[in-house]
Chains A and B, each alone.
Chain A
């Protein structure tokens, strides 16, 4: 019988009227690998912040290593061997790698003065433990995302972690980096470190975890050994409904040519990209992180300037110098990072929804039509089923899935002819993902031309009728989905 490391009983937590957690029990044993799964807004992040001491629960008890804690602080949690790798890693971009790794543990030893040699050595030691080597003097803010994560993991290990909690660790990683990470996780498992792995991604959960706990709407809905679950059961408990994985789409009819790119490029980033987009299509652009696909997307929206080639919108040559030009031409862009690129968090749903369509919200004298705006936003709330008591509430009060809906509403308000979706379902749970895909297909059917950029092959295969692969700045292949027969790429 393995020892109980953490025992949470009856945990509840409210945030300004929203029930984030309701009566949740959780036990983690020494050395076990458990997955905590659930849709966005389901309470996972809140729960681990309570385990880490960052939040205090409104109700419930916390017992760690047999000790009861009435008001757990991050310090205490760390002392008990609990280490968290947050989604944003919670590292310090202005400090060096060595400091990020070793500062906390040096401090835990009670040291008041900084011993640079000791810090550097500690950092190197921990890094060699997991077979990585990053320049200890490098400034953390300049490292690529995967390296930042490794530094965060090293920091956790240098403090004698007994339980390592990882919150959605694979969100910003490429496939190769994910494999690397999982290898690391297995090594840690071998060392007897307990791992709590938060995720909503099917494949990962099945690959890594031994035990599974699923939260939905703040409540624990099911728990058990991984081997007792299959894909359908998992999805069912996560979302509360059955979701069909539909096969690829074939467009009913293809309309006029909306976009034509003729050998467009940005110096040193991508070159000789040519393709066409017709109304009713969903064209995919896929490739690894860093293949130039993101920059291509931005260039099509005017956020980056082309240095070569021509772009035609509805057969008219255009020069897009900024997003405003693109919007004027009927192009909409749903960005990768909705929080910092797509929404104005403290502002109301109203303001956010019409933010891209301001020129259309004015009467002939140039004054804003307040009533018209309010009505239009109400329409969108109804159509997209956005959950909110009022449209004047700030979007930061909405759940993640609803926020993504506001982003969609914002772009649909301007009646785009061309819609560019840049990794629209990253960090989005299965239920909302299916909703977004369905909605995209409906839009295409209505005559919109959609460009879907994603590194998620199944997503591309299921939703596009054509797609391109980009590699290191070039298009290396164009494929018609109908012509593919279980081809592996």
Chain B
């Protein structure tokens, strides 16, 4: 089993290295720490969301409402903070955003389990409900300046790198991503809950027969997705130093693609933290590096699509070929 565990990740890593070399040869600026930091910067928010939905995909459900949850959490929190000129600890603002996310996620979980509906379709609906309701009631006005506590975090830097011509700072939000990764890793590999999530994703009926609390775990997973999406939302406003409610919307597919490219099967039951990170990194790296290679940014979407198609195509084709292979019956002569 260990062999299987690493095969996909190794393939991804090699692809990343190969592409990195190709890009770097074209433009050595790629190999600078400034560039590296900037790539990481770019992948933080998407990464947080990728790890949020990863659990959902493993358990067998595709949640497409997470950008909406992120936006709702981010927007309500920021508008509230602005309206009261909030000056207390930022922790409470985070708590607020994540609680909103948790609540919305639990609504998803409830609908999915109570009415036994497929997650994809339910979350399609709730995405519209959450977002539509938000803008209808609060209006779509941007928040152009973050309140002081959040602004402070936005300005803060973990560290900064200079290369003479340019400079880049690692934002505090990177810590959030690391924290989420550690937590997800812990859940999946060290807790009974995590193994049951894999089990349910592998065979839901068998999980029920084994006495696992399938519905309870499912609701929990969707709640978790909401919780972490809330974190992603408020982190996004911090990284962009503003709160624009139309951001993030429409980004669900690319993040699902990142997770799937990372080896998490869309049918459930399989997925690793390392793989997901590599998937996020690969797509972000390519998207960020096009300019360096002289490919006009107009090609960005096309190339992202090519990577997704190539990545999923190659791994699917391998599975197909393996499936067709007949087990050898005759003894070797």
Given a CB threshold of 8 Å, the question of whether A touches B is answered with yes
The chain A residues found within 8 Å of chain B, CB to CB, are 52, 54, 73-75, 77-78, 84, 86, 88, 90-96, 99, 103-104, 106-107, 111-114, 137-139, 266, 268-271, 290-292, 295, 304, 472-474
A74 in contact with B208 given A92-B202, A112-B193 (CB within 8 Å): yes
A75 in contact with B206 given A137-B2, A139-B1 (CB within 8 Å): no
Alpha-carbon separation in the docked complex, A95 to B201 (Å) = 10
Closest chain B CB from A303 CB (angstroms): 10
Question: Does A292 contact B209, Cβ atoms closer than 8 Å?
Answer: no
Question: Does A93 contact B203, Cβ atoms closer than 8 Å?
Answer: yes
B79-122 to A contact mask, C-beta < 8 Å, 1/0: 00000000000000000000000000000000000000000000
Question: Does A103 contact B327, Cβ atoms closer than 8 Å?
Answer: no
B158 at the interface (CB under 8 A from A): no
Closest chain B CB from A119 CB (angstroms): 9
Q: Count A-B pairs with CB separation below 8 Å.
A: 101
Which 5 A-B residue pairs are closest in the complex by CB-CB distance? Answer: A473-B330, A90-B206, A94-B202, A94-B269, A268-B328
Closest chain B CB from A44 CB (angstroms): 16
- Residues of chain B from 167 to 224 with CB closer than 8 A to chain A in the complex: 189-196, 198-199, 201-203, 205-213
Q: Which residues of A contact B212 (CB under 8 A)?
A: 107
Alpha-carbon separation in the docked complex, A303 to B195 (Å) = 38
**Between-chain CB contacts (< 8 Å), 22 pairs:** A52-B209, A54-B208, A74-B208, A86-B209, A88-B206, A90-B206, A92-B202, A92-B206, A96-B1, A99-B195, A103-B199, A104-B210, A104-B211, A107-B212, A111-B192, A114-B195, A137-B1, A139-B1, A268-B330, A269-B330, A292-B329, A472-B331
Q: Which residues of B contact A93 (CB under 8 A)?
A: 202-203, 269
Q: Which residue of A lies closest to B193 (CB)?
A: A112
Alpha-carbon separation in the docked complex, A269 to B201 (Å) = 34
- Residues of chain B from 105 to 149 with CB closer than 8 A to chain A in the complex: none
A290 in contact with B199 given A75-B211, A112-B192, A114-B194 (CB within 8 Å): no
Closest chain A CB from B215 CB (angstroms): 12
Closest chain A CB from B147 CB (angstroms): 38
Alpha-carbon separation in the docked complex, A93 to B205 (Å) = 13
Q: Which residues of B contact A270 (CB under 8 A)?
A: 329-330
B236 at the interface (CB under 8 A from A): no
Alpha-carbon separation in the docked complex, A137 to B2 (Å) = 8
Closest chain B CB from A203 CB (angstroms): 27
B321 at the interface (CB under 8 A from A): no
Q: Which residues of A contact B1 (CB under 8 A)?
A: 96, 137-139
- Residues of chain B from 230 to 272 with CB closer than 8 A to chain A in the complex: 269-270
Q: Which residues of A contact B211 (CB under 8 A)?
A: 73-75, 77-78, 104
Alpha-carbon separation in the docked complex, A269 to B203 (Å) = 31
Question: Does B190 contact A268, Cβ atoms closer than 8 Å?
Answer: no
Q: Which residues of A contact B331 (CB under 8 A)?
A: 472
Closest chain A CB from B143 CB (angstroms): 41
Q: Which residues of B contact A137 (CB under 8 A)?
A: 1-2
Question: Does B192 contact A95, Cβ atoms closer than 8 Å?
Answer: no
Given contacts A139-B4, A295-B326, 12 further A-B contacts (CB under 8 A): A74-B210, A77-B211, A78-B211, A90-B210, A107-B196, A112-B191, A113-B191, A114-B192, A137-B2, A269-B327, A269-B329, A292-B330
Alpha-carbon separation in the docked complex, A178 to B291 (Å) = 65
Q: Is the interface of B mostly helix, strand, loop or mixed?
A: helix
Q: Which residues of A contact B190 (CB under 8 A)?
A: 113-114
- Contact with B326, one of A91, A99, A266 (Cβ below 8 angstroms): A266
Closest chain B CB from A80 CB (angstroms): 12
Q: Which residues of B contact A268 (CB under 8 A)?
A: 326, 328-330
Question: Does A95 contact B330, Cβ atoms closer than 8 Å?
Answer: no
B11-34 to A contact mask, C-beta < 8 Å, 1/0: 000000000000000000000000
Question: Does B198 contact A92, Cβ atoms closer than 8 Å?
Answer: yes
Q: Which residues of A contact B213 (CB under 8 A)?
A: 75
Question: Does A295 contact B192, Cβ atoms closer than 8 Å?
Answer: no
- Of the candidates B199, B207, B212, B331, the one having the most CB atoms from chain A within 10 angstroms of its own CB is B199
Question: Does A92 contact B203, Cβ atoms closer than 8 Å?
Answer: yes
Q: Which residues of B contact A73 (CB under 8 A)?
A: 211
Q: Which residues of B contact A107 (CB under 8 A)?
A: 192, 196, 212
A95 in contact with B329 given A74-B209, A78-B211, A90-B206 (CB within 8 Å): no
Closest chain A CB from B285 CB (angstroms): 29
Question: Does A295 contact B329, Cβ atoms closer than 8 Å?
Answer: yes
Closest chain A CB from B324 CB (angstroms): 9
Closest chain B CB from A373 CB (angstroms): 32
Alpha-carbon separation in the docked complex, A149 to B26 (Å) = 56
Q: Which residue of B lies closest to A91 (CB)?
A: B206
Alpha-carbon separation in the docked complex, A92 to B206 (Å) = 7
A95 in contact with B198 given A269-B329, A290-B329, A473-B330 (CB within 8 Å): yes
Q: Which residues of A contact B2 (CB under 8 A)?
A: 137
Q: Which residue of B lies closest to A104 (CB)?
A: B210
Alpha-carbon separation in the docked complex, A19 to B149 (Å) = 66
A94 in contact with B270 given A54-B208, A113-B190 (CB within 8 Å): yes
Question: Does B209 contact A472, Cβ atoms closer than 8 Å?
Answer: no
Q: Which residues of B contact A473 (CB under 8 A)?
A: 329-330
- Contact with B209, one of A54, A106, A271 (Cβ below 8 angstroms): A54
Alpha-carbon separation in the docked complex, A292 to B329 (Å) = 6
Closest chain B CB from A235 CB (angstroms): 32
Q: Which residues of A contact B209 (CB under 8 A)?
A: 52, 54, 74, 84, 86, 90
Q: Which residues of A contact B198 (CB under 8 A)?
A: 92, 94-95
Question: Does B330 contact A271, Cβ atoms closer than 8 Å?
Answer: yes
Closest chain B CB from A105 CB (angstroms): 11
Q: Which residue of B lies closest to A473 (CB)?
A: B330
Q: Which residues of B contact A292 (CB under 8 A)?
A: 329-330
Alpha-carbon separation in the docked complex, A84 to B192 (Å) = 22
Alpha-carbon separation in the docked complex, A107 to B2 (Å) = 24
- Of the candidates A84, A139, A268, A473, the one having the most CB atoms from chain B within 10 angstroms of its own CB is A268
Q: Which residues of B contact A78 (CB under 8 A)?
A: 210-211
Question: Does B191 contact A114, Cβ atoms closer than 8 Å?
Answer: yes
A106 in contact with B329 given A92-B203, A95-B199 (CB within 8 Å): no
Q: Which residues of A contact B330 (CB under 8 A)?
A: 268-271, 292, 472-474
Q: Which residues of B contact A99 (CB under 8 A)?
A: 195
Q: Which residues of B contact A77 (CB under 8 A)?
A: 211
Closest chain B CB from A295 CB (angstroms): 6
Alpha-carbon separation in the docked complex, A271 to B329 (Å) = 10
Alpha-carbon separation in the docked complex, A462 to B165 (Å) = 89
Alpha-carbon separation in the docked complex, A394 to B218 (Å) = 30
Alpha-carbon separation in the docked complex, A268 to B192 (Å) = 43
